[in-house]
Amino acid sequence: MTPPDRRLTSLERRLDTWARSRLLGTAPRGPRAFVVELLVFGVKQAWACVFGGVLLAAIVAARLWYPDDAALARNDLLVLVALATQVVMVVLRLETGRELATIVLFHVVGTAMELFKTDVGSWEYAAGGVLHLGAVPLFTGFMYGAVGSYLARVMRLFDLRFTHYPPIWATLPLAAAIYVNFFSHHYVVDLRWWLVAAVLLLYGRSRMFFRVLRVRTWMPVTLAFVLVALFIWVAENVGTITGTWTYPDQADGWHLVSVTKLVSWFLLMNLSVVLVTLAHPPREPEPAPRSAQG
């Protein structure tokens, strides 16, 4: 049986060891193995989302139960919740140093984009509070950090490996072009569909191999981009229905965020993955063991 990944935190190693013990004496692809692997997959995904999950739960709870006239503004409360969550995870060693560095990088990159987007009216946040830069509450940087936290965690929780992953000299310029287009399309031609085509072309052959416990399976990297983009879109609808932020077309009443936003989140996923790979370089699958020579 494959030993637990040494990159796991102590808590994650204990959970991994316990789950593997449930598989002792079972066939690799039997019914019991399938159920255990499925349950552990869900647990690992939930753990990878813990930072974003806490922040999203705080957004919903603040909307439902936090009084509008409280001395501490709702936006400031969300900043303190996000900061406290981050401190707890660092103090209890529930995240690695690389993950913390990734979150900081996402925080800076995301806040810069938020400052520009709110200034040009792409969306706006509910007013109130003192912990903000311009029209951008400081908790927004943590939302981008949550994406970085998730991606960095799944890299090690699922021991992600890649085949035909593009070289950094190709991925980095494309990610930079995507980031620039988030700003430049307000003034010049919007290249998002050309950038989508470039992503599909560059990553089209790349496969992502992941292992829950024993069995390693794979999916196309571009499909992973789509799935995470869809999850972000769902979270975005939670944010808008609570009134935490709104788009111009929601001024007369809430409705689902346009599905065309999935294109933006698909491109954001490419940018995010490239940022994460700066700290966690993609690894290739282990070579298959040679059969015994007889």
Q: Which of 5-19, 170-184, 280-294 has the highest mean pLDDT?
A: 170-184
Q: Which domain holds residue 36?
A: 10-20+32-279
Does residue 288 lie in a domain region? no
Domain count, the chain: 1
Cα distances from 6 to residues 3, 17, 217, 278, 279, in angstroms, run 9, 12, 21, 20, 17
Does residue 109 lie in a domain region? yes
Give yes or no for residue 292 having a pLDDT over 70: no
Percent of all residues in the chain with a pLDDT value above 70, rounded to a whole number: 95
Does residue 195 lie in a domain region? yes
Q: Is 94 exposed, middle or buried (0-12, 13-18, 19+ CB in 10 A)?
A: middle
Does residue 260 lie in a domain region? yes
Does residue 290 lie in a domain region? no
- pTM of the predicted protein model: 0.89
At residue 173, φ and ψ (nearest 5 deg) are: -65, -35
Mean pLDDT value of segment 270-292? 81
Q: pLDDT-based confidence at 188, cuts 50/70/90?
A: very high
Mean pLDDT value of segment 262-290? 87
Does residue 205 lie in a domain region? yes
Give yes or no for residue 162 having a pLDDT over 50: yes
Q: Is 149 exposed, middle or buried (0-12, 13-18, 19+ CB in 10 A)?
A: buried
Does residue 14 lie in a domain region? yes
Residue 72 CA to residue 285 CA, distance in Å, equals 50
List the Cα angle 189/193/199 in 5-degree steps.
Answer: 125
Residue 147 CA to residue 276 CA, distance in Å, equals 10
Residue 28 confidence (pLDDT): 67
Number of helices (H) and strands (E), helices first, in the chain? 10, 7
Mean pLDDT value of segment 210-231? 91
Indicate the range of 14-18, 61-65, 129-133, 201-205 predicted with least confidence.
Answer: 14-18
Give yes or no for residue 33 having a pLDDT over 90: no
Mean pLDDT value of segment 20-42? 78
